[in-house]
A = this chain, B = another copy of it.
């Protein structure tokens, strides 16, 4: 077990490395995990599974990883995965993760689940996604920590982390501080996402002639991520949360425009103070002086935040809080590694501390 690894920068070669597995290593999130894990100084990738690509080299399927990922995709039993790993990332669809997680945990392996399976209370999960098959979870005997490290520092002692959805990451990070600090009554969250959030399989929505020169609103009042956003925001205050997503002709990134109605007064400086205080020690939150840009966060684990405010009438103000993240990094694989870092007592930024690629 790498449980008590004393990780030290610059001495990695002499240390025990964390043995890491990725279940579902061929989708966008799984591949992004591999990209980041391959250059992580404290990690050894010991197993990557893919039924579809079993027997092929990872970097023959994902040619951008040549020659770094000279590893074979496997299709092996959970017990074998457990034997080889200290921690496993499950990057499979909801409904599938729950088939792996119990056995992994029972074999003493920590799990960071990138699906929706453990993000919500069981009852809420079943209302939205259908029956949950992990009996321990249903009985309330298994709990996951919601892995948004900026508001859940307890991930550092978790054995099961539910990695947040991409939209909830952008939305919650944008809205949590202002709801925490001010008398917010209502927030309308209008999100714009790159198409990579839809996965690597071609679809009508991802068909270039349908998306280029266009913007596609969808699940306008019914997106499943709304429950996650509500769950986390309502921890601070009883506030109305409305969510509407759009896909824009962009590969990566989510820009979240949150219109937040505050009873009473708040000016820009009050709000800035609240954000700076709330995110005081958070390495990956950057409070900006101007509107965020997907450019600046592309390929990185940063979440950039900015806000403006206007009188709204009726003794209220409208704050507009805008956040930008890379949906596959901070909204997926990067955040999962940030969780791993904390679970293994490393600095949260280990393996993730690099600037974005602009232009």
Contacts and interface: CB of A to CB of B under 8 A. Distances in A.
Interface of A: 10, 12-13, 28, 31, 35, 38-39, 62-69, 188, 190, 192, 194-196, 200-204, 206-218, 220-222, 240, 242, 244, 246, 248-253, 255, 257, 259, 286, 288, 290-291, 293-299, 308-310, 312-314, 318, 320, 322, 328, 354-359
Copies of the chain in the assembly: 4
Contacts of A328: 359
Name, among A196, A203, A295, the residue most crowded by chain B CB atoms within 10 Å (CB to CB). A295
Nearest to A295: B214
Contacts of A208: 195, 206-208, 211-212, 249, 251
A355 B208 CA distance: 21
A200 B251 CA distance: 20
Contact of A291 (B10, B218, B291, B294): B218
Given A35-B357, A64-B358, A294 B213 contact: yes
Nearest to A328: B359
Contacts of A299: 299, 357
Contacts of A212: 208, 212-213, 249-251
A178 to B, nearest CB: 15
Contact of A196 (B209, B214, B259, B294): B209
A298 B213 CA distance: 9
A58 to B, nearest CB: 11
A196 to B, nearest CB: 5
A155 B66 CA distance: 26
Contacts of A64: 295-298, 355-358
Nearest to A283: B67
B308 A221 contact: yes
B200 A314 contact: no
Given A13-B10, A314-B240, A221 B255 contact: no
A289 to B, nearest CB: 9
A67 B302 CA distance: 11
Contacts of A210: 295, 359
A60 to B, nearest CB: 9
A249 B192 CA distance: 12
Given A221-B320, A359-B200, A209 B251 contact: yes
A255 B295 contact: no
Contacts of A354: 39, 68
A92 B222 CA distance: 39
22 contacts: A39-B355, A63-B288, A63-B296, A65-B355, A66-B296, A66-B355, A192-B248, A200-B209, A201-B207, A202-B202, A202-B204, A207-B208, A208-B208, A208-B249, A213-B250, A213-B295, A214-B253, A215-B248, A217-B291, A240-B314, A252-B359, A299-B357
Contacts of A298: 64, 213, 357
A207 B218 contact: no
A202 B207 contact: yes
A46 to B, nearest CB: 19
A288 B296 CA distance: 31
A22 B195 CA distance: 35
A298 B251 CA distance: 13
